[in-house]
Amino acid sequence: MTRTGPIADPARLLPAGGAPAELAAHRARHGAVPRIRDARELVALVEAAGLRGRGGSGFPTARKLAAVAAGGRRPIVVVNACESEPASRKDAVLLRHAPHLVLDGALVAARALRARTVVICLHRGDPVAAHLNAALSQRRGDGVDWQLAEVPRRYVASEASALARFLTDGEARPTARPPRPEQRGVRGRPTLIDNAETLAQLALAVRYGPEWYRSVGTRTDPGTALVTVSGCVARPGVYEIELGAPLATAIGAAGGPTVPVGATLVGGYGGTWVRDPGLPLSHDPAGREGSTIGAGALIAVPATACGLVETARVLVFLAAESAGQCGPCTFGLPAIADDVARLAAGRADDALAGRLTRRLGQVTGRGACAHPTGAVRLARSMLRVFADDVRAHHRGHPCPPQPPVLPIPAPTMLERAWR
């Protein structure tokens, strides 16, 4: 099953030249889809490779596969290609240029788990659907029922339990845990829900073997990852990096900064602010902020920008994107966003610092999903990384106004409905 091939490290996922790969070209590059005997063999292989999820949490993929296999009923495989992070484009680029690698990974998992149905989830109106439909039209002999599902364009609608609920009853809101979708997901069946890049990585690990897969990356987080680099860089875009590479490597791949960088937001809008260019990018927490690569979104912010203002803009967005089901989101996030907005505007009252600290402690780790915890992580990193600005703003001396940097979707681009 293990073989060497024409894949150069660390550029493993995307075809050379960036041209979309037709099935014939994909097969010429990677060969046929390997046959795995059963779920036990796949779990052992993926565990040996050390593959971790690329959707944000970095959860070990082998553990998720094993949980689905132990479910006792015929499972369903779901490809999460919604990419809700406003600053991320990695999954869209992957599905445009290497859709068959994602589909191969889903097919390998489905065959090993004895699943007959594979559902690919996209946000409603996503133009990537056209590329996926074209790719699926070339794969009529796979032996599974390929389905495409369009999910409401909401930030938390792509959370795993929200996808399972949407595919069951049409409501794209997260559900309280447990059980996880691996135990009881779509229509009560064990459900494997993996990010699109995770399944592409699985396809590579199965084709080329654990030793090849571990030849790059770190001991605890092997392989490569796609990152979306934006902000004040020369060539914003999606790049493939070796896990464990420093932040400076990713910024350098995008042509380097065009102006002095004040800080970089690492991991998306539930991530952390970082000033250390040597921070290793992986799913293992690193640096003072315990930063991880998260959803693979890296945004370099100019030194002239105000980190408090940028954070306040994101927190207002995150508060508005709550599913409105739990107190920490419904009441806590708007209150935190209001405190940070007041601080950013230089309108802090004497009680704000203590109130904000208390609210951050009350919200983190609660709710049906990780949405409030991510918002708290962002706010806490702002308080530490921009500590000097926090003190100045608290004294009523805010930063001079600057053009916004972090992308916030316009209200017209988002849906209000959850169905």
Identify which has the larger pLDDT, 316 or 179: 316
Confidence of residue 3 (pLDDT cuts 50, 70, 90): very low
- How confident is residue 298, by pLDDT bands cut at 50, 70 and 90? very high
Tokens representing 246 are 């420093």
Q: Hey, what CATH class is 224-302 in?
A: alpha beta
On whether the CB atoms of residues 241 and 224 are closer than 8 A, the answer is yes
pLDDT tens track for 319-332: 998 888 877 778 88
Q: How far apart are CA 97 and CA 13, in angstroms?
A: 9
Q: Find residue 240's DSSP bridge partners.
A: 226
For 109-137, write each residue's pLDDT tens digit: 999 999 999 999 999 999 999 999 999 99
CATH code matching the domain that covers 16-213, chosen among 3.40.50.11540, 3.30.365.10, 3.10.110.10, 3.20.20.70: 3.40.50.11540
By the 10 Å C-beta count (0-12 exposed, 13-18 middle, 19+ buried), 361 is classed as exposed
Question: How far apart, in whole angstroms, are the C-alpha atoms of residue 219 and residue 165?
Answer: 36
- For the chain, what are the domain ranges? 16-213, 224-302, 307-413
pLDDT tens digits, residue range 79-120?
A: 999 999 999 999 999 999 999 999 999 999 999 999 999 999
> Strand pairing partners for 229?
237, 298
The whole-number average pLDDT for the span 353-366 is: 88
Dist CA 260 CA 180 (whole Å)? 44
Residue 412 has pLDDT above 60, yes or no: no
- The dotted CATH code for 307-413 is 1.20.1440.230
